[in-house]
Amino acid sequence: MSVSPVIITTWRFGLAASVRGLELLKSGSSALDAIEAAANVTELDPEVNSVGLGGLPNADGIVELDAAIMDGLTHAAGSVAGVTDIATPISIARKVMDLTPHTMLVGQNARAFALRNGFHTEELLTEKSRKAWQEWQKERSASDVSHFTSGPPILTPDNHDTIGLCALDTHGNLAAGCTTSGMAWKVPGRVGDSPIIGSGLYVDNAVGAAAGTGHGDEMMKAVVSYRVVQNMERGMTPEEACIETLRYMMAKRNPELHGNYGAALIAVRKDGLVGAAATKSGFAGPDRLWQWAVGKDDCTLHEGVYVTPTEIIPSLLT
Ligand code: ASP
């Protein structure tokens, strides 16, 4: 029996990826292939400044990319972190999964592995992203060796985001993916939540799939995507599962330090029901409201479902 396919992606910029993914799913592609091809659309779009080509760089002006992919059918996963000069890290992650006995490769060796497997290098900094980095450099104090202690904030509304993707194919199989340049101006070598299986993404064919975007340094400590899938296994809807996970995560954070950070989760249950939630509406700034793109019969953008810090941590109300 054929199942109605579904794809769900994070952010407004996920819409083009969802369109491509749904097209493939409708023509019978596996969820895994659809996720990879859909993610490639965003990775290769130079206008998206937080993923692949045109992504904002680390503090040294180098674009370092993180990505992962996971197959619900086989429970196999592949992941790469800190990859430079290659625009499509989710496809390298797929090769790690398909061609090696390992799950994760990092840095220069992930890059070398990709080159041995037919990938090519290119300049990932665009004129726009180079200028943004130069502006940040100008404002930064020369004595700020840690990149954090002085100067402009490392995390601003418009300098990070991930495309997280979850899909259900016509055979009833699920897959999930994530790809990002991470936080702009990050300390070189910093790896976020996106390539961490269980944090940036997780899928269990018997239950559902989940993926995230937001402040990865905090999200990874709550292993959020794994928790969303576990919540669905315990009977919650995808939306309830995302909300409960964000509440849990926020309750564990020190509100003085982390009360205002942004995090968002998307999920698909094995029967095709979708859901999402975010810690706040404008964590990516007033122009970048939390939205996610759902591809079912056609592709539509959705907004809303906010779990605000004030709702979770009463001390913030004062
Ligand atoms: N989760 C990403 C990271 O921390 C950034 C984002 O999605 O906003 O690397």
| Number of neighbouring beta carbons within 10 Å of residue 150 | 12
Ligand 1 pocket check: which of 48, 155, 183 to mutate, most ligand atoms within 8 Å of Cβ? 183
Place of tokens 């990932």: 124
Q: Which atom of ligand 1 is nearest to 284's Cα?
A: 8
Gap from CA of 239 to ligand 1 centroid (Å): 21
Q: What kind of architecture, by CATH, is found in domain 6-309?
A: 4-Layer Sandwich (3.60)
Number of the ligand 1 atom closest to the C-alpha atom of 181: 9
State the distance from the centre of ligand 1 to the C-alpha of 215, rounded, in angstroms: 5
Mean pLDDT of the chain: 89
Pocket test for ligand 1, best of 161, 196, 258 (most atoms within 8 A of CB): 161
Q: Report the pLDDT value the prediction gives residue 130, as an integer from 0 to 100.
A: 96
Protein residues whose CB sits closer than 6 Å to any atom of ligand 1: 160-162, 180, 182-183, 192-194, 213-214, 216
Q: Which atom of ligand 1 is nearest to the CA of 191?
A: 9
Ligand 1 centroid from CA 253, angstroms: 17
Pairing outcome for strands 6-10 and 163-168: antiparallel
Ligand 1 atom having least distance to the Cα of 10: 7
Q: How far away, in angstroms, is 214 Cα from ligand 1 center?
A: 5
Nearest protein CA to atom 4 of ligand 1, as residue: 216
Tell me, in angstroms, the distance from the centre of ligand 1 to residue 92's CA: 19
| Segment 122-179, tens digit of pLDDT | 999 999 999 999 998 888 766 555 555 544 555 665 667 889 999 999 999 999 999 9
Q: Which residues are catalytic?
A: 162
Domain boundaries, the chain: 6-309
pLDDT-derived band at 318, boundaries 50, 70, 90: very low
How high is the pLDDT of residue 316? 37
CA 206 to chain centre: 22
Q: What is the mean pLDDT of residues 19-28?
A: 97
Give yes or no for a contact between 49 and 55, defined as CB atoms under 8 angstroms apart. yes
Tell me the pLDDT tens digit for each residue of 75-134: 999 999 999 999 999 999 999 999 999 999 999 999 999 999 999 999 999 999 999 999
Distance from the CA of 173 to the center of ligand 1, in angstroms?
Answer: 27
> What mean pLDDT is predicted for residues 286-295?
79
Best residue among 58, 65, 161, 162 to mutate for probing ligand 1's pocket (most ligand atoms within 8 Å of CB) is 162
β-strand partners of 69: 78, 177
**Distance between CA 38 and CA 91 in Å, rounded?**
11
Task: Spell out a b/e string for 245-275, using b for 16 or more CB atoms within 10 Å of the CB, else e.
Answer: bbbebbeebebeebbebbbbbbbbbbebebb
Give the ligand 1 atom nearest the CA of 217. 4
